[in-house]
Structure 1
Amino acid sequence: MAKRTGEKYEAIIEAAVRVIAEFGYHQAQVSKIAREAKVADGTIYLYFDNKDDVLISLFNEKMGAFISDMEQALSKVPSPVDQLRQLIYLHFSYLGSDKKLAIVTQIELRQSNPVVRKEIGLILKRYLAVIDRVLQSGVEHGLFRKDFDIRIARKMIFGTIDETVSSWIMDDFKYDLMDQVDPLHQLFLQGIGS
């Protein structure tokens, strides 16, 4: 298998986002992805075992890079209250700027098989750990209440952010996702703020 780097690899990942967003995962044949990437069908198999591997790799590349960027951005924000807002902002900004990627991550990944979901869960654990760190820091600095369960708050925060993006997609992008940042931030602070 070829190294998962380089122009062809990147072209396949980008093509997979477009094809899966347009046709849905189950109708996105490898040949369509190859045609969109302007590579031969067989080239896909130099980098990926199968279509599931393309989807897993797509998620790992896109969300892995997003999580790394988010961790770096949050490290520059001193207040956990502001980190929480920045986390919401970055999530909405990232998916709001790429509607096709939003469709793939919010809709198509959830319809995949258990093996794909398990692999995707591994990268999501990194994201959830970021939320946990923000919450724990807020508690330690006296900015968030001490009497809440961080795991439940994390589920509430991630679930709300996630559902907001899904609803935005299901509503055919009729409103600006960024308009939801401050209302959600205030809602979260009402629940966990000290």
Structure 2
Amino acid sequence: METKKISKRKLQSAQTREKLLHAGQETFIEYGFQKTTISQIIKKAKTGYGTAYVYFKNKDDLLIELLEDVMARFYEIANMTYKPTSKKEAYDLIEQQSILFLDMANKEKLMMQVIEEAIRLSDNVRKKWTEIREQFIKRISEDIAYAQKNELARIDVDCSIVARAWFHANEMYLWEIVKDVKTPPIKEIVHNIASIYTGGLYK
């Protein structure tokens, strides 16, 4: 009987947390990060103030969890299997990843607009974004190291420095897409930057 009570409490807790996150996402998208208040989110979620603060200290805390959820979908793309056996295969894999990455920015545009604003206004969100960026750069660096080890890429360059430059190129276009800056089609962007990247790095 006690186990059933605990399970029920856990379920209720998970449901309450999910309601707050869902309400937070809708409120942030409607009002933007700066104009959203934790009170608005709590009211929309129809939960008590005391209950809400058990899960999230403030709106920054809630936005960070939403940020992590969105970026997990981006990271699935970055974490795709990368074991090319030729320069052409490396280009094809890199092109595919970059197209999916920028397409995801387009699909998640509304939430990414909130995140972009929050990065500018919140030290906590900016710190979390920096941590997430480093995860992507580390993953790219591992891919470059794999190519170097297998004699596909130049070994006279530092994989972590090249990885950072490649991520910055993709990130720049990600934010331009999010902010509705007029850009060429995604496939055209990727063809150009991926060609320069692989042309300079791979043998």
TM-score by length of 2: 0.75
Which moves more between the two structures, 55-64 or 39-48? 39-48
Measure how far apart 1:136 and its partner are: 0.9
Moved more, 160-169 or 117-126: 117-126
Superposed CA deviations along residues 18-75 of structure 1, whole A, max 9, x for unmatched, are: 4334433111112333455x433625323211111112211222213432x2355x22
Does 1:132 pair with 2:149? Answer: no
Distance 1:94 1:31 in 2: 30
Match of 2:74 among 49, 60, 66: 66
Distance in 1 separating the partners of 2:186 and 2:33: 24
Tell me the matched-pair count.
187
C-alpha separation in 2, matches of 1:39 and 1:177: 40
Contact 1:89 1:181 in 2 (8 A): yes
Distance (Å, rounded) in 2 between the aligned partners of 1:166 and 1:184: 16
SS of the residue aligned with 1:78? coil
Q: Where in structure 2 are the equivalents of 1:25-174 lying within 5 Å?
A: 25-36=33-44, 38-40=45-47, 42=49, 43-67=51-75, 69-70=76-77, 72=79, 74-75=80-81, 77-79=82-84, 80-105=90-115, 107-171=116-180
Contact 1:70 1:87 in 2 (8 A): yes
- Counterparts of 1:17 and 1:169, CA distance in 2: 16
TM-score by length of 1: 0.78
Matched, 1:181 2:190: yes
C-alpha distance in 1 between matches for 2:33 and 2:202? 41
Q: 1:101-129 CA distances to partner (integer Å, 9 max, x unpaired)?
A: 22133x22321332332233333322221
Aligned-residue RMSD, C-alpha: 2.8
- Distance between the aligned counterparts of 1:186 and 1:30, measured in 2? 46
Q: Name the CA distance, whole Å, in 2 between partners of 1:152 and 1:108.
A: 27
* Percent of residue pairs identical: 21
**Distance (Å, rounded) in 1 between the aligned partners of 2:41 and 2:196:** 41
Determine if contact 1:30/1:44 at 8 Å carries over to the other structure: no
CA-CA distance at 1:131 after TM superposition: 0.8
What is the deviation of 1:178?
Answer: 4.5
CA apart distance, 1:150: 1.7
Any conservation in 1 of the 2:34–2:118 contact (CA below 8 Å)? no
Q: What is the one-letter code of the residue matched to 1:10?
A: E
* Gap regions ≥5 residues in structure 1: none
**In 2, are the aligned partners of 1:144 and 1:192 still within 8 Å (CA)?**
yes
Larger Rg belongs to: 2
Q: Name the CA distance, whole Å, in 2 between partners of 1:83 and 1:109.
A: 32
Instruction: Give the structure 1 partner of residue 7 of structure 2.
Output: none
CA offsets 1:120-148 (integer angstroms, 9 cap, x no match): 33333222211111111121222221122
Aligned 8 A contact 2:119 2:125 in 1: no
